[in-house]
Chains A and B, each alone.
Chain A
Amino acid sequence: MTDIFNLAGKTFNSRLIIGTGKYRSHQEMQAAHTASGAEMVTVAVNRVPLDRKTESFLDYLDEKMQILPNTAGCYDAEHAIRTARLAREALETDWIKLEVIGDKVTLLPDNEQTLEAAKILVKEGFIVLPYFSDDLIMAKKLLDIGCPAVMPLAAPIGSGMGVQNPANLKIMREQLPNATIIVDAGVGVPSDAAIAMELGADAILMNTAIAEANDAAQMATAMNLAVQAGRLAYLSGRMPKRLYASASSPIEGAIK
Chain B
Amino acid sequence: MKVFINGETKEIPQEVNLTELLKYLFLPDERIAIELNKVVVRKKDWENIKINNADKIEIIHFVGGG
Contact = CB atoms under 8 A, between A and B. Distances in A.
Contacts of A91: 31, 62
Interface string B10-30: 100000000000000111101
Nearest to B35: A86
A21 B66 CA distance: 6
B58 A86 contact: yes
Looking at chain A's contact residues, is the secondary structure mostly helix, strand, loop, or mixed? mixed
B28 to A, nearest CB: 7
Contacts of A83: 60
Nearest to A43: B62
Contact of B59 (A48, A57, A72): A48
Given A47-B59, A54-B61, A207 B66 contact: yes
Contacts of B64: 19-23, 29, 43-44, 57
A190 interface: no
A103 interface: no
A89 B33 CA distance: 6
Contacts, number: 105
18 contacts: A19-B66, A42-B66, A43-B64, A43-B65, A44-B66, A45-B62, A47-B7, A50-B27, A54-B61, A57-B61, A57-B63, A70-B65, A72-B65, A82-B38, A82-B58, A87-B33, A91-B31, A208-B66
Given A48-B32, A48-B60, A72-B66, 16 more contacts: A19-B64, A19-B66, A20-B64, A20-B66, A22-B64, A42-B65, A42-B66, A44-B63, A48-B6, A50-B27, A57-B64, A82-B58, A87-B60, A90-B31, A206-B66, A208-B66
Contact of A89 (B7, B28, B43): B43
A46 B10 contact: no
Interface in A49-98: 49-50, 53-54, 56-58, 69-70, 72, 82-83, 85-91
Contacts of B32: 48, 90
